[in-house]
Amino acid sequence: MASSSHFLCSHHSYASYESKTHFNSFRNAKIPQFYSFKLNGSSSFRRKNQSSRIHLIRATASDATTGKKQVEVVYDREEKFNKLADEVDRNAGISRLTLFSPCKINVFLRITGKRADGYHDLASLFHVISLGDKIKFSLSPSKSTDRLSTNVPGVPLDERNLIIKALNLFRKKTGVDNYFWIHLDKKVPTGAGLGGGSSNAATALWAANQFSGCVATEKDLQEWSGEIGSDIPFFFSHGSAYCTGRGEVVEDIAPPVPLDLPMVLIKPQEACPTGEVYKRLRMDQTSQIDPLVLLEKISKGGISQDVCVNDLEPPAFEVVPSLKRLKQRIAAAGRGQYDAVFMSGSGSTIVGVGSPDPPQFLYDDDDYTNVFLSEAKFITRSPNQWYLEPHSTDESTCSSQNVE
């Protein structure tokens, strides 16, 4: 639905009298407050007033005795309204925006050391995939509060949610005081190791920047986002990146695997709390292979089981013991069907790359009745656009992306 605005403006008649002048000052006229909206072409102000036959209004005052002119005020109505229309056009922007918020997988994840600040250094090939949420943003008349709603229970709707944290961060960094009504259509499961919340935060930062007329650069958004989450900066890559540090050091790389390579995502009901997984991590049990060697192997030979190393699998399997059995069963049942079977991030999603089809036992075994299943592919984004939902032709630049 296209947004529309209706403007009412009263036109005052000016009359000249011999001894005094009566007219209503334009300066004192009440002009309606203009909320942000999208205009197509010239403002209706300009079109309407260009068709008026009277453009100049003259008001004079004269001395009745001498006839000498004392005051003359000439008011060019067309010029005034054209200036007003130009100001409205300059200030006009989007009022509603719907964006795709895709998740990611870690093709490999090496933990390379323990940091003094309590975090761990990692080296990982992150890649955006086609499973994602949709987030609808609308400008709110409020100048103090965002309002978030969602289609799934259990998602925090206050400052604990990364979307709200991201919007607060954007306002803090830019001074822009836009507030929003947000609806999150959630499809990415939580506690899955897929970075769904981080993607939502990155998408919210991108959206807030669109509403402000792109006052920040993508680099600004990427750098700021690391203050509220280690995985968020990755989503400001083009979709494929080699990430180091806590994950916030992002190096864009060309996609090392075909984008049409199919995969299946399998997540049991049990979540893997990231903090608990890292608590159980023992550095002497991690892989010793150089992550750059893994990256080179994938770039040259594609995805195979030996390159999909995840150092968080052993501690995650301690936190959720059934997860190890699930991975083993998928690998055994899909022998020859999948190029690799591995856990993404800190779990609990198991990824089977090479086929979009889940193994049959997931349908036959009552223990897996409530397992989350989804097929997916790798995706990227173009410069100055946000990620597009597969099969969508919309774009997410400053001027479009389901803009209403």
Residues carrying an active site annotation: 104, 231
Peptide bond preceding 149 in cis form (omega within 30 of 0) = no
* 38 contacts: CB under 8 Å, gap ≥ 6: 2, 3, 92, 93, 94, 95, 403, 404
Q: Cβ contacts of residue 46 below 8 Å, gap of 6+?
A: 81, 82, 85
Cβ neighbours of residue 394 closer than 8 Å, sequence gap 6 or more: 388, 400, 401, 402
What is the Rg, in whole angstroms, of the alpha carbon atoms belonging to the chain? 29
Tokens of 327: 């991975």
The answer to whether residues 121 and 246 touch, using CB atoms and an 8 Å cutoff, is yes
What is the spatial order of strands in the sheet that 350-353 belongs to? 340-343, 350-353, 263-267, 372-376
Position 325, amino acid = R
